[in-house]
Structure 1
């Protein structure tokens, strides 16, 4: 916020300097030496008479508009920042209550939300069973920036809370599941590797027509909906914009050394800050952390489901398995090459008789290797 404040002051200063420059140019044009006609006043070639020209507001319309624009931008910045500060405090209270009830360490111990800009706040908490930590992003409208605010209005961007909870890896069998607003479904399926690779869109008459379900395993999906998630997804007025449960990366890996963290991600829309809406928001936030417990404790997949999930991942990550094997072969070949180089250096220091014995021994060793290769080819 301080950075944006300084930027606004610099902008105002630049506009003011520009206005002063334009005013100076105007004055130079309208106030100057005007030579009277020779017929009316005889003057010598080296003399002239200056006549003052009357200045009016009309002469400075552009300058006045620039100054007014600069003042308006700075005033809007402070007004928008103040409004967002008040809103952040309103939403910080229910967020803090839920996080403090679930985690032993919330924020920096003093504040729950940390300002990242005049419209964005970050949150972090750790110290809870079944998960490693949660990190989030509270996104308000950029009321301090008219251009960004106009873009939000045109794009119909909503104020929201995004959270990513990293779950403990060894407490449940991984799967991929997602519920998302219908308008976001196509982009989500296109942009996320885990959803496009492992899931399919499933029809469910019990959920809101505004939502789309992506499911990898029917067994896991049925048990998830029984947790109370089905009732939330059936509500047309639910604040839940997006929910993703995954054990695979969102972006396609470019090497075999990639993390397969199990995560629960949610996007919750921020409604108008009324008492009823804040209570609804808090209730949904509490349910999210109920899911953190329900997934490892309440979901029990059948053996055939577990085998199917494992097989699907083996197929999906087959190319990475080949990359692992290739890297092992390359490392082994490099080690053998280095060993051979050192051995040959030592041979170079031997006496002729020692070298002859070593060459004979090495020839027998190479011959034995060739015979072993032939035997393997025959088999």
Structure 2
């Protein structure tokens, strides 16, 4: 079966290479794309997921303790993020929503760089060009437009890179995402649309907005799509590699639907118990991405108690780094909001800066 035949597979069922019980299953279409993945590489993804889940739990605790204003948990979506990010090349560029902390971790974003945005002291915690990843986008779906624009720049430069846009199932109902797909298809942009279908767009179930598989939407724009088990690192790796290969070879955009589940709240301002049943959560806990890979690696003799202890220590150290860096953050000087708005001096900014300086000077103890 060729690469193009892969896109002829039915989209009703998500492709799976590792079952929830941790058993490897065959797929003639996908197996060739992960034939070179070693136990050591799977172990690396296992470590990544354990560490990222621990960081996520620590950030949630920091928000509950008043140290962060908000936090969007990724609990349950680790495989979709880690496996896809591990498939990327260093020179690829990533545009994410606000939940892709796992992607950021793989790209080189440190725990200390994650919290400034969510503490409200900075617009971003890292230089995008240092890690090949833009600052998190809170406007739902807007990053897909950014990714397509960047991809057209890649195309114009004749470069070998690919732009990747991460977004959720709810974003596929936004105009930005649909417009991005129209533009990408029209110009064969080297971009991958990576949708994490976590079943809930805040409090609305995916069944309300999509009567058919979300992956079936993309072909209507002329974009081939893949639907995979998003809790299966091997299936996600295969799908991402297929899409990247297609983009690099001039084939244009690909849409991936990674079927996963948000085990926690939409953000820490949300209470999921108000709109979903306990039985649903229990059903998806049985499909946990970390547990199934742990079973697979244990049965293969690649994971033992010593390694579990070592990765737990590493995860705890990352969480401690996150906490220390968060608590050490200080509020920026009020007037710094005008810095770096434009690359060159701008009279409008100068006027606004002076008006703000005069306003702040009215309040005793506020340094302008």
TM (normalized to structure 2)? Answer: 0.24
Structure number with larger C-alpha Rg: 1
Which one scores higher on RCO, CA 8 angstroms, separation ≥ 6? 2
Bigger proportion of residues as helix:
1
TM (normalized to structure 1)? Answer: 0.23
